[in-house]
């Protein structure tokens, strides 16, 4: 069986001239594919991938089409066992998610499609894509952890780069999903920190959604070093946590009682690490 990566190349090269632009009926076509997939009428996952890949490449300026493609890619990603195939599919899903944001235009009417029974359905994909943002980011993180790295977890981030997400909410969804993912295994934390700190660097307008999860990740790292009695490293990362916590304190949520208690506990940790280091 060909890998999906190869099928993708063969598909694009063989039909790249089929459509000069995105078909007017693209939303309806992808809606039909989704229905056929759920009903079991479309058993060939490779063909579903081909439909979604064509939509990704030919309809990048159609927000709902990109959301539909992301949804199909995510469904395929769950089904394929091979990690290389998963990397190809989830990478495509993530690109479709980003395209969904950049292509959004409030002046464009929300598309209406028809179901098999003739009834009409208005396609609202904002919430669906929000949910997929966390799911796909975690899938790519897991693949990176298992030797199939995605660039968002090893690229260099600089302040002159553009934020990948066009909304604070969607940025927050990705950050929180990675934070929750990293909470289950210490080996995951560096990957979550790399991406979250990268988003902090390139998304200055969305710091209120990024700073506290980043502080949590740094505190978790400090606690890892505490367990090894490496007080210098524990202190270093606890101070990093304090830096991002201070940024969060300036947001609307920074005065919540739970955060004040969390900050007091962090200050206690910093004093503890300082005392341990001084006594060595």
Q: Encode the chain (280 residues) as per-residue pLDDT tens digits.
A: 344 443 333 333 333 444 558 999 999 999 999 998 888 876 688 989 999 999 999 999 999 999 999 999 999 999 999 999 999 999 999 999 999 998 887 777 889 999 999 999 999 898 999 999 999 999 999 999 999 999 999 999 999 999 999 899 999 999 999 999 999 999 999 999 999 999 999 999 999 999 999 999 999 999 999 999 999 999 999 999 999 999 999 887 777 889 999 999 999 999 999 999 999 8
Q: How many domains does the chain have?
A: 2
Query: Does residue 128 share a domain with residue 1?
Result: yes
- The pair of three-digit structure tokens given for residue 257, joined into one six-digit string: 């009682």
**5 part of a folded domain:** yes
Query: Does residue 139 share a domain with residue 6?
Result: yes
Domain ranges, residue 85 = 1-148
Query: Does residue 214 share a domain with residue 126?
Result: no
User: Residue 114's beta-bridge partner residues?
Assistant: 120
Query: Does residue 170 share a domain with residue 36?
Result: no
**156 part of a folded domain:** no
Query: Does residue 106 share a domain with residue 23?
Result: yes
Contact of 218 with 244, CB cutoff 8 Å: yes
**74 part of a folded domain:** yes
Query: Does residue 1 share a domain with residue 140?
Result: yes
User: Residue 113's beta-bridge partner residues?
Assistant: 121
């Amino acid at each position: 069986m060909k890998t999906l990566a190869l099928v993708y190349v063969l598909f694009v090269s063989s039909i790249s001239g089929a459509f000069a632009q995105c078909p007017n009926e693209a939303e309806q076509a992808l809606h039909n594919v989704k229905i056929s997939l759920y009903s079991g009428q479309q058993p060939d996952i490779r063909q579903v991938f081909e439909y979604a890949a064509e939509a990704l490449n030919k309809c990048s300026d159609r927000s709902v089409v990109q959301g539909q493609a992301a949804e199909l890619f995510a469904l395929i990603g769950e089904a394929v066992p091979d990690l290389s195939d998963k990397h190809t599919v989830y990478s495509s899903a993530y690109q479709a998610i980003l395209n969904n944001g950049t292509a959004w235009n409030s002046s464009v009417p929300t598309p209406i499609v028809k179901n098999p029974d003739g009834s009409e359905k208005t396609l609202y994909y904002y919430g669906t894509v929000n949910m997929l943002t966390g799911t796909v980011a975690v899938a790519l993180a897991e693949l990176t952890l298992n030797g199939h790295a995605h660039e968002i977890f090893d690229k260099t981030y600089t302040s002159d780069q553009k934020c990948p997400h066009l909304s604070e909410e969607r940025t927050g969804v990705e950050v929180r999903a990675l934070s929750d993912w990293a909470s289950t295994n210490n080996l995951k934390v560096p990957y979550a920190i790399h991406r979250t700190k990268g988003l902090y660097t390139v998304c200055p307008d969305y710091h209120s959604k990024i700073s506290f999860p980043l502080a949590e990740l740094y505190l978790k790292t400090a606690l890892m070093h505490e367990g090894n009695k490496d007080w210098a490293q524990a202190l270093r990362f606890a101070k990093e946590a304090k830096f991002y916590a201070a940024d969060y304190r300036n947001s609307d949520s920074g005065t919540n009682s739970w955060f004040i208690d969390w900050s007091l506990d962090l200050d206690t940790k910093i004093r503890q690490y300082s005392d341990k280091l001084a006594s060595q």
